Amino acid sequence: MAECVRLDSSTSSHTMDKSITLPPDEIFRNLENAKRFAIDIGGSLTKLAYYSTVQHKVAKVRSFDHATKVNRELRLYEISVQEEVTARLHFIKFENAYIETCLDFIKDHLVNTDTKVIKATGGGAHKFKELIERKLGLKVDKEDEMTCLIKGCNFVLRNIPHEAFVYAKHADSEFRFQTTQPDIFPYLLVNIGSGVSIVKVESEDKFERIGGSSIGGGTFWGLGALLTKTKRFDELLQLASKGQHTSVDMLVKDIYGGSYGSLGLTGDLIASSFGKSATADKEFSKEDMAKSLLHMISNDIGQLACLYAKLHNLSRVYFGGFFIRGHPVTMHTITYSINFFTKGEVQALFLRHEGYLGAIGAFLKGAEEDNPNQYSWGENYAGSSGLMSVSPDMNPMQRARSGTFDMLEMDRLERQLVNLPLLQDPSSYIPDTMDLTEDALAREYWLYCFEEALDGVVKRAVASQPDMPEAAQRAEKFRQKYRHKLQTLRQQPFAYGSLTVRSLLDTREHCLNEFNFPDPYSKIKQKENDMALKYYQKAVKSLEELSWEQRQFALVRVELMAFISCEHPERPWLVDSYDQWFERLKGPPHKCALFFVDNSGVDIILGVMPFVRELLSRGTEVVLASNSGPALNDVTNGELQILTERIAAMDPVIQAGLREDRLMLVQSGSSSPCLDLSRLDKVLAMVVRERQTDLVIIEGMGRAIHTNYYAMLSCESLKMAVIKNSWLADRLGGKLFSVVFKYEVPAGKPSQHSAALSPL
Amino acid sequence: ISVRCSAFPWFGMDIGGTLVKLVYFEPKDITAEEEQEEVENLKSIRRYLTSNTAYGKTGIRDVHLELQDLTLCGRTGNLHFIRFPTHDLPAFLQMGRNKHFSSLHTTLCATGGGAYKFESDFRTMADLQLHKLDELDCLIRGVLYIDSVVSGGPSECYYFENPTDPDRCIQKPYTLENPYPLLLVNIGSGVSILAVYSESNYKRVTGTSLGGGTFLGLCCLLTGCSTFEEALEMASQGESTRVDKLVRDIYGGDYERFGLPGWAVASSFGNMMSKEKRESVSKEDLARATLVTITNNIGSITRMCALNENIERVVFVGNFLRVNTLSMKLLAYAMDYWSKGQLKALFLQHEGYFGAVGALLELLHPS
């Protein structure tokens, strides 16, 4: 991975872009290819869903016919930019007031569709049925609300990492995102609309409404309106956030004078909601009554949710519905209640895309013949607005945001993604080393870095398409979009789940793709690959001349050297378990090594390949995993296929490996400079299992430092990288170009040389 | 046993968030000798309590609950049940001071939160030392005692037959033999739910702050009423379906997919989200909706606790149920309907006085 970080730069822009109301053509994107509409009309918000096919450019590599001698000396492969069609799901959320305008817009832009029906759900669906049918000429087909909700919930839990979060009002970061669970079932969904429904979900198709309560959002709204003469739900919440419930509620201390010690009930606990208004003959403020009401309802729902969770032995409880929908006040009171009633045994979980569940579900119902659930989907950071807080207390910019349009886009991934079977504990695996949502200093630094690096990325993007005159214009649009994303993240680090270096990099890739820069590094990679290939044989030969001991060290050195041009740091390195690795190599060969590769050029050809060669010679099978799509200068699977063939032609060891199927190239399923071991190509997982892989090698900053530095595997692992960023080096207690060589053996699975292994 | 008994007067007191409950044992077997020895103060207290049914502006003796010819600690007499609002406790203490209660050198057994909160007031204002007792211990002791001694007259424990059929729903006596395990739901200002396995083995399962205090508090704010009786009277004349949003208001009928009947409340006060409907409801409707909301909520929490604790019998007590047949029938209905007949709701005549009775028993038979 090439980090483009300049440390010596002068100014950076901290100004906010306030132009947040988007023109409709940027909201209803790809309408011309749209098909399969679904709509979820709630009490105040409408959510529209549709499916489109997106045509975008992809960089493909193709091997030259090596019989044609002319090309052979010049280029190993050619790069062509091709059009590829992928599937995308669009979800747009807007206030009901816009519904007619939106329907008109859709009607005008819907060119080519054979769609006849629109799936509809939500309480308002019948109210707008006639309008929709008239405007769009589509037949409205109603779907059960709860079924849609559950379907949508399953979909986001399965496909969006960091979908669920715990809310902690007073923590450094209010939102603590949960890692994706390998199995999302069973769970409890507590949907707080005007009433409350409590649904137990056991599998994709099996769910049951196990209970509910009539005391819900409608009670807060209705009773609140009566008590305070305040009409709007939002205003009631705002009143509540300013009130003191203790002047209205009878607390334990109002009865006991203090706590009720023998039962462990503290004095501040509410003994009787509104108890004081029954005895005290005085006026109560609107704020205080609203607050008391909010507590009463939240506590009651929390208590019932806990009772149901206990009865059905469920520990994952998600809360949704308009009462919750992004309101920090209600998330806080519900969280408080759950913590109180379960003493921390159950956590209240909320969902980033909670507002979209119904629309997603309705859409999926209508798209069953396309089998959307057999694919994996990924959130497109470029096209999605992210989580916006609508807290009345938050800054006005966010208030304005909630009043406009919100979008979610999901791309259908070509490959189905699953966990790496070698993760020690998939449910606790966190790919990212640093959570920038929680670490404010680190966040500042990395946001600054990415902003500083933006000029360079734009230049490279333009340079990658020299024969396209409008590239500069597109690159400028990319710059604006990505800069806007960075500014949003500065304000709301939690917008797309946990903010990490990986998410910043991925967002950049998504934005580049958005403006048709599928592979800005393609030309550079091509040049570097051609160059490095010329030295392959020489490099292998000089390694062959070394003694076995010397060679083992040289291989590691060369592998690490490939990353830097300066002098190699002396041992001991920053993290240095080379001696343990070396001892291990004296033992029996590994059965099969899974090698996650990184950069093109010198790294893959002169660093990785000799290492692979040595492993093959030892009798270890090797699975080389490379990116499915381009990201920075990382070698892609397509490129690696050609490179390996070429090397095989020069090197009998590699050739034999390929021929005997002891060397295998697979794609990772990823297009990121980082690595999420919980979202890998299903084929890769299958190969890993079949070959009884007992060694995982991860190299490079993106995959071994920014991610997976702390990943625990159930087999031996080797993480290698040079830290090319002085801030990060400093964080890890070293200096620029420090070396990390981390060899780990899982506890309980000692190798033959376990005595020599000490934990890092 | 009588040797160990405390000297007269015998009181038990339960000082709750809203009401003070007082039980007083009036000995009827006083010998001439005793009569002579009885100090004037004691006589005057006895006379004052037994010859009146109302005390001051707010104190009331529930004559219909009086237990006559009761034998306690070898003595025979009548047990009186008296209540007054907790905010009138200072007046009560003043009276105690005026009547020189402290000169009797009696121990005053008291339970409820107020025993702790007002302990120093008892000492400074009336020169009285409180013997403080845990309210749940007292409650259980009181329930078991009263149930065991009441015979003749209306049965202490009763239930509603045919709770789901308003026309055939009638109150029936119930014999609480083999009472364990038992879910005891005490609805005062707030609610406590106890699982009782024996007189000494019980646990507080949970509680809710939505109780009698919430009903009255919300009614006061919504209707301008000021007493529990007023609030109940209004509720009896109102219609909650104008205030609440029912399942049929949303789905046009039953929500069959989930087995929800059309008449079930989908959202309490849900209709009040609309301005027009807010303007069309009466105070009586609001009082009724408040009563139904609070009662049903207690019902559903209770039902969940019964399931979690695997207990089929539920006894509801507490002053929220006083003269509140509406709530009792609602609870009986809710328990029966949602459990498909599995759960039985039971009620006790002396609904709010068990804590005070338990405190009195502690005076006579210290545990």
Check the CA dihedral A62-A66-A67-A68 and report its sign: positive
Task: Using an 8 Å CB-CB cutoff, list chain A residues near B260.
Answer: 209
Which chain B positions have a beta carbon within 8 Å of A273's beta carbon? 209-211, 213-214, 217
Q: CB–CB of B245 and A272 under 8 A?
A: no
Evaluated on CA atoms A415, A385, A707, A713, the torsion sign reads negative
Measured between CB atoms, which of A219, A262, A289 is closest to B270? A219
Q: What is the four-CA torsion angle of A92, A95, A101, A107, rounded to 10 degrees?
A: 30
Closest CA to B269 of A194, A290, A234, A299: A194
- The reported pLDDT for the residue numbered A759 is 38
User: In this predicted complex, what is the ipTM?
Assistant: 0.95
Chain B residues 188-217 within an 8 A CB cutoff of chain A: 188-190, 204, 206, 208-214, 216-217
Are the Cβ atoms of B17 and A272 closer than 8 angstroms?
yes
Distance from CA of B192 to the nearest CA of A (A): 10
How many Cα atoms are found within 13 Å in the side-chain-facing hemisphere of B4? 10
Q: Does B137 touch chain A (CB under 8 A)?
A: no
Contacts of A276 in chain B (CB under 8 A): 217
Answer left, alpha or beta for residue A587, where phi above 0 means left and psi between -120 and 50 means alpha: beta
Nearest to B321 by CA among B212, B223, B219, B168: B212
Is A223 in the B-facing interface, judged by CB distances under 8 Å? yes
Residues 263 to 282 of B: which have CB under 8 A from any A CB? 264-273, 275, 278
One-letter amino acid of A399: R
Residue in chain A closest to B281 (alpha carbons) equals A226
Contact B300, B308 (CB under 8 A): no
Residue ranges in chain A modelled with pLDDT below 50 = 1-23, 69-72, 389-403, 752-760
User: Among all residues of chain A, which has the CA nearest to that of B298?
Assistant: A300
Q: Confirm or reject contact between A671 and chain B (CB < 8 A).
A: no
Helices (H) and strands (E) in chain A, counts: 27, 25
Q: Name the residue in chain B with its Cα closest to that of A271.
A: B209
Chain B residues with CB-CB distance to A322 below 8 A = none
Q: Which of B17, B222, B257 lies at the smallest CB-CB distance from A250?
A: B17
Interface test with B, best of A147, A192, A201, A215 (most B CBs within 10 A): A215
pLDDT score for A562 = 63
Scanning A306-345 for CB atoms below 8 A from B yields 307-308, 310-311, 341
The 10s digit of each residue's pLDDT in A687-706 is 999 999 999 999 999 999 99
pLDDT for residue B218: 98
Query: Do A249 and B258 count as a contact with CB atoms less than 8 A apart?
Result: no
Which amino acid would we find at residue B80?
A: H
B-chain residue closest to A262, CA distance:
B134
CA distance A227 to chain B (A): 7
Distance from CA of A412 to the nearest CA of B (A): 32
Output the pLDDT for position A368. 81
**A269: nearest CA partner in chain B:** B209
Chain A residue with the nearest C-alpha to that of B228: A278
Closest to A689 measured CA to CA, from A402, A370, A406, A423: A423
Q: Which residues of A touch B216 (CB under 8 A)?
A: 278
Please state the pTM of the whole predicted model: 0.89
Q: Write out chain B residues lying below 8 Å of A336, CB-based.
A: none
To the nearest whole Å, the CA of B175 is away from the closest chain A CA by 30
Contacts of residue A527, defined as CB under 8 A and 6 or more positions apart, other chains included, come to none
How far is B63 from chain A, CA to nearest CA, in Å?
25
Gap between the Cα atoms of A175 and A495, Å rounded: 10
pLDDT, residue A727, reads 93
Which positions 21-50 of B are in contact with A (Cβ < 8 Å)? Answer: none
The tens place of each residue's pLDDT in chain B, 367 residues long, gives: 344 678 889 999 999 999 999 999 999 998 888 888 888 888 888 999 999 999 988 999 999 999 999 999 899 999 999 999 999 999 999 988 888 888 887 789 999 999 999 999 999 998 999 999 999 999 999 999 998 888 777 889 999 999 989 899 999 999 988 889 999 999 999 999 999 999 889 999 999 999 999 999 999 999 999 999 999 999 999 999 999 999 998 888 888 888 899 999 999 999 999 999 999 999 999 999 999 999 999 999 999 999 999 999 999 999 999 999 999 999 999 999 999 999 999 999 999 999 999 999 999 888 7
Where do we find the tokens 């409340």? B265
Question: Exposed/middle/buried for A311, CB within 10 Å: 0-12, 13-18, 19+?
Answer: middle
C-alpha distances (whole Å) from A727 to each of A505, A565, A676, A724 are 17, 19, 23, 9
Nearest CA in chain B to A277: B217
Q: Which of A203, A164, A207 is nearest to A183 (CA)?
A: A203
Q: Which residues of B are catalytic?
A: 135
d(Cα A475, Cα A463) in Å, to the nearest integer? 10
Q: Which among B17, B114, B300 has CB closest to A304?
A: B300
Region of A619 on the Ramachandran plot (φ > 0 left; ψ -120 to 50 alpha; else beta): left
Instruction: Report how far Cα A693 is from the mean position of its chain's Cα atoms.
Output: 27
CB atoms within 10 A of CB B103: 12
Check: CB of residue A413 under 8 Å from CB of residue A679: no
> Is the CB of A257 inside 8 Å of chain B's CB atoms?
yes
Within an 8 Å CB–CB cutoff, is residue A284 touching chain B? yes
> Considering Cα of A324, then A326, then A328, then A331, what sign does the dihedral take?
positive
Q: Is A221 on the interface with B (CB under 8 A)?
A: yes
